[in-house]
Amino acid sequence: MSIELPPSAAPRSTYPQDVLPERVRHRLHELAAGERPLAAYLYDGDIAAARARELREALPAWAAVYYAVKANSFPGVIEALAPHVDGFEVASLSELALATTAKPVPSGTVAPVVAAGPAKSVPVLTGLVAAGAEAINAESPLELHRISRIAQERGTTARVALRVNPARIPVTGSLHMGGEPSAFGIPENAVAEAVRTAQQLPGIDLIGFHIHAASNNLDAGTHADYVRWCVEWSVATAAEHGVDLRHIDVGGGIGVNFEGEKPFDVARFGELVAAVPVPDGVKVALEPGRFLVADCGWYAAEITDVKHSYGQSFAALRGGINHFQLPTSWDIVHNVAVLPVDTWPEDLPRPAAENTRVTFVGELCTPEDTLLRDVRVDRVRAGDLAVFPYAGSYGWEFAMHSFLGHPVADRVML
């Protein structure tokens, strides 16, 4: 059977140690001194907060930033972000509980929460209505009926935006363009009927539209053009169908740069977006997730063994895709730093690999448990730490925690 492994990292070398802030190295050495082999995520809430402030301050007053909790749901990270974002984007009851705890509001008032998901269950919809969510992004006619029924049963109305799968977005760049068959959203050719349905249902207050068609876009100009298009489309569609437009959700999609890539220019994006004509009384919501938290986290795992097989070298971790699945699932090269640990039992041999290419693998009984292939290493020894920077998003949340039943990775705030 052929197994698709992550792409080769050759001819790259591992990151130097100093890519890890001194405070991170110090804390990891403290954690590694424990009795158990280290496998943990380390988070710096100040980094996440600074990134959120940077984006929020660059945007005009009509824009709002809602952190997508799915990117990193650790309570410490949520708490660090809460003062610097306008609200949260959630997709489950557990995420809703995190959001409403981080930004509580008096009963009966609108909660700063927007909600998405292609198959929201009745319990999830009930929780969102009960919480007074600012916007429930409805993805189908049946969902509209369910929301209305739940709201009526509770003697209220629910604020709803229609999630739209547009036929085409006339913007070039790193965008997913819409117009393709998808479980997400309502096809553009069915929007008119969905609007009529929403307007006729007594439990629904139709406030606008949600369009999420951007993905990992590093170009500020292209992303500003995308926001402009979403606003223009929403304004025109609302006018055509008699919608009292108050809310336009443009989703996330701001990219995260890795080696050799130019970072997203937040200041330039803010300047360009400020020129978008937005009608009075309309809020434009952005839902960044990965962009806010990718660089606030590190995944670290003890190297339990170094092996040599038919001319290749392998560093085996106390962890793997049961902790950090993203590189394998997204088919990306996610580089690593080797942090030396000098303590080692005197009565054991200490295998090593020096000045050679090494593949970093996990502890699971499958060759798919490969995090990084063919990266050049100056030296790696059993007992050292493999540390993956930029692991603050889609790390712990995205992993295969139960496979083989090994302990899950710890999560620690710096």
3-state secondary structure of 167: coil
> What pLDDT does residue 407 have?
93
User: Tell me: the pLDDT tens digits for 260-291?
Assistant: 789 999 999 999 999 999 999 999 999 999 99
Residue 44 in this model has a pLDDT that exceeds 60: yes
Do 259 and 157 share a structural domain?
Answer: yes
Catalytic: which of 343, 365, 402, 405?
Answer: 365
> What pLDDT does residue 54 have?
98
> What pLDDT does residue 212 have?
87
Torsion of CA 137, 143, 146, 151, to 10 degrees: 10
Euclidean distance between CA atoms 168 and 293, whole angstroms: 30
List Cβ neighbours of 365 (8 Å cut-off, separation of 6 or more): 404
- Give the predicted TM-score (pTM) of the model: 0.95
Of residues 171 and 265, the one with the higher pLDDT is 265
Q: How confident is the model at residue 120 (pLDDT cuts 50, 70, 90)?
A: very high
Q: Determine the average pLDDT of the residues in 156-168.
A: 95
Euclidean distance between CA atoms 344 and 11, whole angstroms: 31
> What pLDDT does residue 173 have?
63
Task: Report if residue 4 sits inside a domain.
Answer: no
Instruction: Let me know how many helices (H) and strands (E) the chain has, helices first.
Output: 11, 17
Residue 2 in this model has a pLDDT that exceeds 80: no
CATH number at residue 212: 3.20.20.10
Do 289 and 309 share a structural domain?
Answer: no
User: Tell me: the pLDDT tens digits for 173-222?
Assistant: 666 656 677 888 899 999 999 999 999 999 999 999 999 888 889 999 99
Domain count, the chain: 2
Whether 296 is a known active-site residue: answer no
Task: Report if residue 182 sits inside a domain.
Answer: yes
CATH number at residue 381: 2.40.37.10
> What pLDDT does residue 329 have?
85
In sign, the C-alpha dihedral spanning 170, 173, 175, 179 is: positive
Average pLDDT across the chain, whole number: 95
Q: Determine the average pLDDT of the residues in 321-342.
A: 93
Euclidean distance between CA atoms 372 and 386, whole angstroms: 11
Q: Give the containing element (helix H, strand E) for 101.
A: helix 93-102
Residue 1 in this model has a pLDDT that exceeds 60: no
Euclidean distance between CA atoms 103 and 83, whole angstroms: 8
Torsion of CA 65, 69, 74, 79, to 10 degrees: 30
End-to-end distance of the chain based on CA atoms, in angstroms?
Answer: 43
Task: Report if residue 178 sits inside a domain.
Answer: yes
SS3 annotation, 211-254: CCCECCECCHHHHHHHHHHHHHHHHHHHHHHCCCCCEEECCCCE
293, 319, 340 - which closes a domain: 293
User: Tell me: the pLDDT tens digits for 213-245?
Assistant: 888 899 999 999 999 999 999 999 999 999 999
> What pLDDT does residue 174 have?
62
Q: Percent of the chain scored above 90 by pLDDT?
A: 88
Range of the domain at 385: 17-44+295-413
In 3D, which of 140, 214, 210, 211 has the Cα closest to residue 173? 214
Q: How confident is the model at residue 162 (pLDDT cuts 50, 70, 90)?
A: very high
Task: Report if residue 299 sits inside a domain.
Answer: yes
Q: Are 218 and 264 in contact (CB under 8 A)?
A: yes
Residue 76 in this model has a pLDDT that exceeds 90: yes
Q: Are 179 and 233 in contact (CB under 8 A)?
A: no
Do 40 and 60 share a structural domain?
Answer: no
Torsion of CA 55, 75, 110, 271, to 10 degrees: 0
293, 322, 352 - which closes a domain: 293
> What pLDDT does residue 4 have?
74
> What pLDDT does residue 176 have?
66
